[in-house]
Amino acid sequence: MSVRASATLPSPAVSRRQIAIAGIILGAIAWVITIPPIHVRSLVPSIILAVIAVCAGAWSAAGGERKLGIEAIVLAVLAVAGAEASAHSALGTLESVFTWSALVAATLRYMTPLLFAALGGVISESSGVTNIGLEGMMLMGAFWGIYGADLLHSWVWGVIVAMISGAVLAAVHAFFSIHLRADQIVSGFGIIFLALGITGYFLEYHYGPNGTPLNISMIPNVKLPLIQHVGFFGIAIGDANLMTWIGLALVPALTFFLFHTRGGLRLRSVGEKPRAADTLGLPVLRIRYAAVIASGVLAALGGAYLSVGFVGSFSNDMTNGRGFIALAAMIFGKWKPWGALWATLLFGFGSAMADRVSSVNPTLGTLFEALPYVVTLIAVAGLVGRSRPPAADGIPYVRE
């Protein structure tokens, strides 16, 4: 560390940075104006906007804001492609795809499981344990949630059993990563395989080839009495699942916990510099155990939402990579709860869009399915250096 570390920072390229962001926004607008409710039926305005965005991006990229600038350019190109597609689609088709109220509702549905798992990831990684096994923990929650709801005839019990199952699997990951100082990424993979095996095995063992029963007690939707029938809002949020609301409520709650409570301060200290926490007498390993297990519980809740809250049954590997998406959302969201929310909303929106597009044009819909991953790829590449993981993330703590 430098003696003169406190010397005034040289002024960063603020203006270039702002121009790059403006470029990104312009790029987005270039596409947005071609879809309902605005739906400009000409490509010209979009192209003009996109060209401006490209120039802004190129200028800021040349001036040192490379990542943001390039992002602006990429986005502008994508926007023109999108505008092209909208301009060539029939108005009716466009309107059936961009039924905003239904899109919002679908976005929330797709977001919910991701949000729970991503918040779980935030907790675990804040304490310094990489949890790539979120996928497995979700899967456990999905299966054992159905099993509990079926066996005990109540979705409440289903959710509780799901949480326990997630906690147990997370405890295995915790034991390997904290006590045995395993490579946490490898251990996380082991956890996923284990969960695939266990859920598949017990699905077959308990339910055989017929699958889970049909009359499962399911997590109810919350019918908002006032706005349930109010047009846009009624469709968008008037009838969302209880878990969606819980997940959304968890975002401020977790933020408050992490940054304004004693427990949160200690949790973060262990994730940043466990040795410092240890010299102050904090039980580093115990805090990490608690955090990993909590993350397992949250991921399992996400899984339980999928099975007990949404589909009403369990099928093999039904999480289908959502744990990884949640992981990406957590990174995308800079290891913060609010960030995770925005990122999962983006992914949710992508999936919702793909759904709508598929219903009109299956071929195009398939490509749309890939869009959120492409966006993540660009975002992850662009965000590096700007976001900082907890300093001790993924490093086992050894005292002597």
Partner 1 sequence: MADSAPPVLELKGVTKKFGSVVANDRVGFDLQRGEVHALLGENGAGKSTLMSVLYGLYSPDEGEILVDGEPVQIGSPSAAIKLGIGMVHQHFMLIDVMTVAENIVLGQEPVRRGGVLDLKAARARVRELSERYGLAVDPDARIEDITVGAQQRVEILKALYRDARILVLDEPTAVLTAQEARGLTEVLNRLKADGTAIVFISHKLSEVLEVADRITVLRRGKRVETVARQGATERSLARLVVGRDVMLAVEKTPGKPEHALLEVRDLCVDDDRGLEQVTSLSLTVRGGEIVALAGVDGNGQQELVEAIAGLRSPESGSVTVDGRDIAGRGVRSATDAGVAHIAQDRQQRGLVLPFTLTENLALREYRAPQFSARGWLRLGHMKERAQKLLREYDVRGGGPEAYAAALSGGNQQKVCVAREIASDPKLLIAHQPTRGLDVGAIEFVHSRLIAERDRGRAVLLVSLEYEEVRALADRILVIYEGAIAGEFPPDASEEELGIAMTGGHARQAEEVNG
Partner 2 sequence: MSTLDEELQAEAEESGAAAARSPASLTAFRRGLSGVTIPILTAILAFIGGGLIVLATGHNPLTTYSSIFDGTGLNWLFPWVSGSERATAAGNLQQTLIQATPLLMVGLAVAFAFRAGMFNIGGQGQYTLGGIAAVWVGSSFRGMEPVLHVLFAIVAAAAAGGAWAGIAGVLKAVTGANEVITTIMLNWVAIWFGVYCFQLGGPLHSSAHDMTTTPVSNTVVNGAKLPVFWGSAALQGLDVGIFIAIGFAFVFAILIKRTRLGYEARAVGFNPDAAETAGMSAGRTWIRVMLICGAFAGIAASLDILGWKFDLFTNDVQTSQIGAYGIAVALLGRNTASGTTVAALLFGALLTGTSNRNINLSIDPTLVQYLTFMIEGLIVLLVSTDVITLRLIKGGRQLGLAVRRRPAAAAAPGPDQGGEK
Neighbouring-strand partners of residue 222 = 240
Q: Which does 351 bind (CB under 5 to 8 A by kind): partner 2, partner 1, none?
A: none
Q: What is the DSSP letter of 271?
A: H
Based on the shown chain and the rule CB under 8 A, indicate whether residue 81 belongs to the binding site for partner 2.
no
Calpha distance 74→88 (Å, rounded): 21
Q: What is the DSSP letter of 230?
A: S
Among 92, 209, 225, 281, the residue binding partner 2 under the rule CB under 8 A is 209
Nearest CB to partner 1, comparing residues 267 and 371: 267
Nearest CB to partner 1, comparing residues 16 and 268: 268
Based on the shown chain and the rule CB under 8 A, indicate whether residue 205 belongs to the binding site for partner 2.
yes
Calpha distance 266→259 (Å, rounded): 10
Based on the shown chain and the rule CB under 8 A, indicate whether residue 196 belongs to the binding site for partner 2.
yes
Is residue 387 classed as helix, strand or coil in its secondary structure? strand
Q: Which does 359 bind (CB under 5 to 8 A by kind): partner 1, partner 2, none?
A: none
Q: Which does 279 bind (CB under 5 to 8 A by kind): partner 1, partner 2, none?
A: partner 1
Among 16, 67, 268, 356, the residue binding partner 2 under the rule CB under 8 A is 67
**Which has the closest alpha carbon to 213: 305, 147, 300?**
147
**Per-residue contact track with partner 2, 341 to 370, x per CB under 8 A?**
---------------------xx--xx-xx
CB 199, CB 140: distance < 8 Å: yes
**Which has the closest alpha carbon to 243: 195, 319, 303?**
303
Q: Which amino acid is at 345?
A: L
Calpha distance 274→270 (Å, rounded): 4
Among 45, 63, 200, 264, the residue binding partner 2 under the rule CB under 8 A is 200
For the CB of residue 378, give the shortest distance to partner 1 in the complex, in Å: 25
Query: C-alpha distances in angstroms, 392 versus 61, 125, 288, 365?
Result: 32, 9, 12, 41
Strands (E) in 138-192, as ranges, are: none
Residues forming contacts to partner 1 in the complex (CB under 8 A) are: 1-7, 9-10, 260-263, 265-266, 268-269, 272-273, 275-282, 388, 391, 399-400
Q: What burial class does residue 24 get, using C-beta atoms within 10 Å of its C-beta: 0-12 exposed, 13-18 middle, 19+ buried?
A: buried
For the CB of residue 13, give the shortest distance to partner 1 in the complex, in Å: 11
Q: Which does 204 bind (CB under 5 to 8 A by kind): partner 1, partner 2, none?
A: partner 2
Calpha distance 170→299 (Å, rounded): 10
For the CB of residue 221, give the shortest distance to partner 2 in the complex, in Å: 29
The residue ranges that bind partner 2 (CB under 8 A) are 67, 132, 172, 176, 180-187, 189-198, 200-201, 204-205, 208-209, 321, 324, 327-328, 331, 362-363, 366-367, 369-370, 373-374, 376-377, 380-382, 384-385, 394-398, 400
